[in-house]
Amino acid sequence: MEKVLYNGEIVNRSDCSVQLEDRGYQFGDGIYEVIRVYQGKFFTLEEHLDRLFLSAKKLSMDSSLDYTTLLSLLKKLVDVNGVVNGTVYLQWTRGVAKRHHQFPVPSAKGTIIAYTNSLERPISNIQNGVSAKLVEDIRWLRCDIKSLNLLGNVLAKEEAIKADCFEAILHRGEIVTEGSSSNVYMVKEGKLYTHPVSNLILEGITRKVVKRICGEENVSLIERQFTVEDLKSADEVFITSTTAEVMPIINIDNEPVGGGKPGKLTVLLQNRFQDQINQLGALH
């Protein structure tokens, strides 16, 4: 029987239900995380929980669980479900209250749920690369918060999928921001660029891992805005996310990019990323 985390306890999935007046359900008033599990072990769990609690703080959301309790419940969940390779989806809403736009007074107890999925690594896409479609970034101006409000992302991804692409690369006017569910990078004249951390992008946990790797490999990661034209004429393009890892983009809007194959620096970062996954076994 599959278990889930619900109201601070590990229970059967069938014993879990959404309340009609949960603010996550009615307003998208909540936050979430997707956390990777490799060989039964969490990858960058603490970084994800740090970002979760930071998002909660930015939205003045109360927790029904403290950090340490949540961390141990998530580990227990992965164990009881016997997850080998997969993800944990965690969602935390402002809780259940009569429907008014303003925050409930007194504040509601936040609803935290989590469940597991099995998911293998996307080896073929990582090795061969994928296509992307450029889509105007119409999202709100607090993309730094990992909010449940994902309509801008959903519409962009749908456009990409309809065009037979793996990801939508978003741009505000001329400026490339990020993917619909990933961060975006380009290599030009031997230099690696990505959008700086700001309200216009989510600071990805995989982005942090890649930044760390760059430091170790003496690759300078330049956190600076670049344009759609820069991207189209780049020597290499790749995206990162918890589920996509370091994934080469070899085609944008039906035009090959970076010679239509994964680039040298991309492959180096992929190899070092793979090392980090392999190290999980050694660390625990």
Q: Active-site positions? A: 146
DSSP reduced 3-state for 213: helix
Q: Which is nearer to ligand PLP, 16 or 28 (CB)?
A: 28
Structure tokens at 11: 């229970």
DSSP β-ladder status, 191-194 and 221-223: parallel
Q: Which is nearer to ligand PLP, 56 or 96 (CB)?
A: 56
In single-letter form, the type of residue at position 58 comes to K
- Residues forming the site for ligand PLP (CB under 6 A): 34, 153, 178, 181-183, 202, 204-207, 240-242
Residue pair 228/174 in contact by the 8 Å Cβ criterion: yes
Work out how close the CB of 202 gets to ligand PLP at its nearest, in angstroms, rounded to a whole number: 4
Angle of helix 205-216 relative to helix 264-283, nearest 10 degrees, comes to 100
Neighbours of 210 (CB within 10 A): 25
CA dihedral 54, 44, 129, 182 (to 10 degrees): -10
**What is the Cα–Cα distance from 279 to 253, expressed in whole angstroms?**
37
- CA torsion sign for 232, 267, 131, 243 is negative
Work out how close the CB of 241 gets to ligand PLP at its nearest, in angstroms, rounded to a whole number: 4
Q: Which is nearer to ligand PLP, 96 or 181 (CB)?
A: 181
Work out how close the CB of 9 gets to ligand PLP at its nearest, in angstroms, rounded to a whole number: 27
Q: Which is nearer to ligand PLP, 131 or 241 (CB)?
A: 241
Work out how close the CB of 203 gets to ligand PLP at its nearest, in angstroms, rounded to a whole number: 8
- What's the length of the chain? 284
Contacts (Cβ under 8 Å, ≥6 apart) of 70:
49, 63, 112
Q: Which is nearer to ligand PLP, 23 or 36 (CB)?
A: 36
User: Nearest residue by C-beta to ligand PLP?
Assistant: 204
- DSSP assignments along 125-180, one per residue: HHHH-EEEEEEE----S-TTS-BS--HHHHHHHHHHHHTT-SEEEEEETTEEEEES
Work out how close the CB of 178 gets to ligand PLP at its nearest, in angstroms, rounded to a whole number: 5
Work out how close the CB of 90 gets to ligand PLP at its nearest, in angstroms, rounded to a whole number: 12
Q: Which is nearer to ligand PLP, 96 or 183 (CB)?
A: 183
